[in-house]
Structure 1
């Protein structure tokens, strides 16, 4: 096409040039050319060319063609839209007029197709921040891509530059040494700042009103770890933020850095230690007196990623270790408790009574994630990977280096959440996304229900959004500042996969099995996402931007 276009354009140039020359010649030397058969034939050819449609010159684009791989369902295609919607449509119920605050959530979208085959989807996609602002009986929606250094580099290049998940050796050479974080795991608010986090990098700070990206944040130079968790815990009594970074000296390293920041966000404590082996430490447990680091055998080794293998692999031959350390303790004195191989990713809540530490998490016999391979080459086992809410109990006084395990629920669950006002304290209520219920057969995959559990009575209640719909992480909102634990609302994004749009559903936290308080219709799809949090207007008034 390019050759043809250039040739046609060159011929057209000759038409103009020779036509002008012939015109001049006819004025002065009419008799000279009048009887020249060769010149007449050329004139006829040029006249014919003038009647043909012009073919534009096609210059190759400096950017590659944008074409995304087709997902298993059209709902999961990239959205790539930043939106502002003033007043979401309420299609059922009424928005509580006294509910004033913002629900922040991060989802995974992608501005350019990955150049990696079988990429890990929303683990490795760009982060997009969402805000649902509740005020005066209405809800406004906003979404913005989080402009990480990675995002901006790819935007400038017009293509993907970063390769496989957590594999720096697969990146384009032009981004060597650049932060790989995509800020796609959690949005949380502390010390007047809105953080967007991914566990392989320092957090990003956003404007809580506009969602504008303000930049990478290293706690004013106090964050010495190369990474920072997306699951910090905020002490409701002191306002302190407790957090850590694993692979703190770089991917596949065993180093873990532990931090505590005061209520203003200033780091006031730091200590380091080494894990028994390098592993994904996605979440941890915090009580009033202790922190617990779960080391599960979703392992990582440098030689694997150098060979282009999966960055994390399930090694069932390894045990689980729970590292226990006092709050503001010394990493050199961490105490390890050991148990058989099993999987856990998220923590619902934890507390201690001085002797015992209680940790509630979805736990399974094998890995939950099908996309991370088994090190021994065996296929993924979805039955063994089904996570159910489980309590781990550590006895600090009996001299044992083990821990016990007991079942709380038989539902297949993930994304556990509590009433955050009881973080680090004894809790009696929780909410989860549910993928399977014993005795109920469902077609397809994904989370089909939201469940709540009452620890005092053992009662479990289920919200079912309907056929063709899936749910995301449930987030609790207190009904009032002094409301009892678990009394308020549960917010959940519902993907209406067959209808190709999303809804924000508000549930009564004590009666999720009843009709929703209200349903807010979104005129678009919201991509898959991980975590988010509710921030009251009172808290937002303390922002430091």
Structure 2
């Protein structure tokens, strides 16, 4: 049997699967990692173990491969393990891919596992375990130290939805995990469930309600009093899936839709707000309430970012016709005539002038008034090595610090053949001022087969890295990750 991945953009260059599980003690470091930076940066990548069964596939359908970068007294070590999902173990048994179209089990091989998740979108330590999450199923739990897979995690049998978000939030006041499920009763259902789970893993709150239709909700926003669910105009149709079609389909005639739920309310209290049509609102930077208004900050793109989920006629916009900015959505929940059941319209206002995505805040200020954000940015005017051909999907050539109150930005450009993966922010100390700390991100080198983890001073971004951690092989493009302080990991082991 020939084991070879297709020569397509989804499986070459930045997207070539690495398939590397390893332990490396003391990675090479250029510069100096602050000795006070102690903890682990966990991140996960969709990293396909086998070539696609149908000869082609999308990046998001790769098996979850977790990287743990352990920072300890100026040293950095790396451990990488696949999440041993039911799906991956079934493929190991048959020694081939058993998976068809993304999130369409009707197209899978009969020998495929019933649980189709890859657990490949984010990883977060909570309740003593490392949760590997993808929004199509419940999480998998891993041991935070060894990365050994424990199994499907239903929060001690307390969460009975079919799915769970890949973008939970942690309440900075008490450590509660705030999460949700969309398509919560199975594929194509409009049901949404909201959960609050305390730091010990006990369910505190559960609220179920229905959206007007089933659509992608990739991320959400939380304040002390409300939860905001952004419905992207990528809709779900089970009959289309049964006919061999995609799980999601772009609908340019639909608005960007937001459901606002009071955290102390119920299904009858949800208010729906309708934004402009044909817009993509994916990841949230932060949200807060001030002067009677609820503000949600997030990058918004003018059209369909996901070329692999086209409209019904197969059309997708050319990448150069799309633009994205960091936007602020303002919800007046107490305005004239505002009540559940009414239809409300909303228009976002720009906070920046440049293209950006993968936003992160100082999470000690999550859900609160704040000033500092950190994003991946793209400036098409900066040099690019044209010998590389076209820029790959998810190409961002700057790492930026944004002051959301003034709009000012401070960015680092690494060169004409490099691009970034999602950043994380780490406070300089537990009581440091907001935004004062370190930003770390994986840096892709497009001409070579290696990757760096760069560490920058968050308040001096343009000066570039204070440390470059060398990874002696190329990591496939990842999605999301989180920083866990050493003391939290120590408590998880006790």
Q: What CA distance in whole angstroms lies between the structure 2 residues aligned with 1:523 and 1:538?
A: 29
Alignment-derived partner of residue 113 in structure 1 = 51
Question: 1:90 aligned to 2:29?
Answer: yes
State the secondary structure of the residue aligned to 2:145: coil
Aligned-partner SS, 1:65:
coil
Within the candidate set 150, 167, 182, 1:246 is matched to 182
Does 2:284 correspond to 1:347?
A: yes
165-174 or 368-377: bigger deviation:
368-377
Stretches of structure 1 that go unaligned for 5 or more consecutive residues are 1-63
CA contact (8 A) 1:315 1:376 kept: no
Which residue does the alignment assign to 1:8? Answer: none
Q: Is 383-392 or 144-153 further displaced after alignment? A: 383-392
The Cα offsets for residues 117-165 of structure 1, whole Å up to 9 and x where unpaired, read as 43112x0000001011000110001100110111111111111112111
Counterpart in the other structure of 1:39: none
Residues 496, 153 of structure 1: CA spacing in aligned structure 2 closer, same or farther, 3 A cutoff? same
Q: Distance in 2 between matches of 1:293 and 1:541?
A: 34
- Calculate the TM-score normalised by the size of structure 2: 0.94
- Give the SS at the match of 2:124: strand
For the 8 Å contact 2:397–2:420, the answer to whether it is kept is yes
Contact 2:436–2:458 (CA<8 Å) still a contact in 1?
yes
Q: Structure 1 residues 277 and 385 mapped into 2: Cα distance closer, same or farther (>3 Å)? A: farther
Superposition map of 1:126-141 within 5 A: 126-141=63-78
- Equivalent residues of 1:290, 1:324 under 8 A apart: yes
Counterpart among 302, 308, 314 of residue 250 in structure 2: 314
Alignment pair present for 1:410 and 2:410: no
Matched, 1:168 2:105: yes
Residue 341 of structure 2 corresponds to none
Q: Which one of 150, 158, 177 corresponds to residue 222 of structure 1?
A: 158
Match of 1:257 among 181, 188, 193: 193
**Structure (1 or 2) with the greater helix fraction:** 1
CA distance in structure 2 between the partners assigned to 1:223 and 1:397 by the alignment: 33
- 1:294 aligns to 2:233 (yes or no): no
Deviation at residue 81 of structure 1 after TM alignment: 1.4
Matched, 1:150 2:93: no
Paired position in structure 1 for 2:398: 449
Does the C-alpha gap of structure 1 residues 467 and 196 become closer, same or farther in structure 2, counting only changes over 3 Å?
Answer: same
Match for residue 472 of structure 1? 421
Equivalent position of 1:37 in the other structure: none
Aligned-residue Cα RMSD (Å) equals 1.6
Instruction: Quote the offset at 1:339 in angstroms.
Output: 2.2
Indicate which of 45, 49, 62 corresponds to 1:125: 62
Summarize the Cα distance change of 1:67–1:377 in structure 2 as closer, same or farther, 3 Å threshold: closer
Alignment partner, residue 461 of structure 1:
410
Worse-superposed segment, 97-106 or 347-356: 347-356
1:368–1:386 Cα contact (<8 Å) kept: no
C-alpha contact (below 8 Å) 1:269/1:328 kept by paired residues: no
Provide the residue aligned with 2:4 in structure 1: 67
Larger gyration radius, structure 1 or structure 2: 1
Cα–Cα, structure 1 residues 154 and 462, in superposed 2: closer, same or farther, change >3 Å?
Answer: same
1:362 matched to 2:299: yes
Supply the distance in 2 between the matched residues of 1:317 and 1:455 (Cα, whole angstroms): 31
- Counterpart in 1 of 2:482? 533
What is aligned with 1:26?
Answer: none
1:32: which partner in 2?
A: none
| Paired residues of 2:375 and 2:400 also in contact (CA < 8 A) | yes
Map of 1:189 onto structure 2: 125
Deviation sequence 1:181-213 (CA, Å, 0-9, x none): 101000011222211001001001111111111
